[in-house]
Chain A
């Protein structure tokens, strides 16, 4: 396959950045999308040019590092797939492919296609944990969890924090990520003591980071490589309403 790539090049956070066109020939349909970029980079290095910087780590769809907007779609055209698991057979010979970084004020571009997703860590630090003594793993049967709660919590826990929800959202909102983290803990007994301070803290951190507001459109859930359902945002909303009416967050309440 011969492809034309239009890739966002930006030397650093202060650089204005631009789309640059590259030609990549003899691409195998069995290559992954990132392998195709590796081939381009090897050629650029041989030519003495600066290779394209992009994030990647596990290349098996579980680390959440790869973050490419491919032809205007987060992680490319295949549903439920991260960019590293996307294969070139999804494209045709002669295609022009646009590759951009996630676009959000909360995710500033570090270089080329690499963005800083520290804002997600700030949301987690504001409540995405349980305060419990750690140590050896407790006996799994000591705290019973209803099967449907366990399933829904697990579904949300599948979030890898890649940021595709933010990238796809027309409002630049990170609510699907925040909701997945809230849901995963609020459905389990271990998450109950901090349930209502958590949701307020995480939503506040989300807004402070500069993400937009959710308007329930659903582009996030369609783009999510892990299939986090849109109704997790309803779970967050319900916890948030309860939390604000309960005056949770006031010490002693």
Chain B
């Protein structure tokens, strides 16, 4: 869980920084998107790097889901008779949302790829003009797309808040002082990352990016 999670988090950071290039204008953003296909050239043929990264991420996602499934199945098997009176998790709201949150994030990622990578669900869907795709996607009349995006991102934030701390702990974070630091770092990281992602649709919505 921790190792695959960290791989995915590294991608999330780069993806967020890349998204923020939308504020540098249409030419710059489209150039950046084009450059992503040319990383590694001429050593690698065009788009090879992109496909290597996609393969690594896909393996990480599958391994992450696999590990989560094993943990869920073990948890289910470990308590065959449920409590008649059970209180919900009360020390850690983020941890409560991990499993269903993960499913929501997966559905979002599938939608997101069909929307802004392949363009099938995008109103414009022009692979040569990702800037225009983003602007068309988060247009004010398509408010429900933005709403879904916001909900998925907030879920991701909760997932990261517990997940990032949990990764530190799984990899051997062991002192009480370190625990306070790891929890704060996870919270700050989750908030910054979610905010970094959400500024883009809100910038389109408010006309800042058009």
Is A217's CB under 8 angstroms from B91's CB? yes
**Partner-contacting stretch, out of B49-57, B138-146, B168-176, B202-210:** B168-176
**Partner-contacting stretch, out of B8-16, B73-81, B113-121:** B73-81
* Chain A residue nearest to B172 in the complex (CB): A238
Give Cα distance in the complex from A103 to B84, angstroms. Answer: 10
Contact A103 B79, CB 8 Å, known A71-B85, A217-B91? yes
Contacts of A105 in B (CB 8 A): 77-80
- Judge if A213 is at the interface, Cβ distance under 8 Å: yes
Contacts of B162 in A (CB 8 A): 216-217
Is B166's CB under 8 angstroms from A216's CB? yes
User: How large, as a class, is the contact surface on chain B?
Assistant: 35 or more
Contacts of A104 in B (CB 8 A): 78-79
How many pairs of A and B residues are in contact by the CB < 8 Å rule? Answer: 107
Residue among A71, A98, A172, A222 making CB contact with B75, cutoff 8 Å? A172
Interface positions of B from 115 to 170, Cβ below 8 Å from A: 162, 165-166, 169-170
The B interface is mostly helix, strand or loop, or mixed, namely loop
- Judge if A170 is at the interface, Cβ distance under 8 Å: yes
On B, residues with C-beta under 8 Å from A are 1, 70-71, 74-75, 77-87, 89-92, 95, 98, 162, 165-166, 169-176, 178-179
Given A104-B79, A231-B176, 16 more A-B residue pairs with CB atoms under 8 Å apart are A6-B84, A6-B85, A8-B84, A19-B84, A103-B82, A105-B77, A105-B80, A170-B89, A171-B71, A212-B75, A212-B79, A219-B89, A219-B90, A222-B90, A234-B169, A234-B179
17 contacts between A and B (CB under 8 A): A6-B85, A8-B84, A69-B83, A103-B82, A105-B78, A105-B79, A173-B75, A210-B77, A213-B70, A215-B1, A215-B98, A216-B165, A219-B90, A221-B91, A234-B179, A237-B170, A237-B174
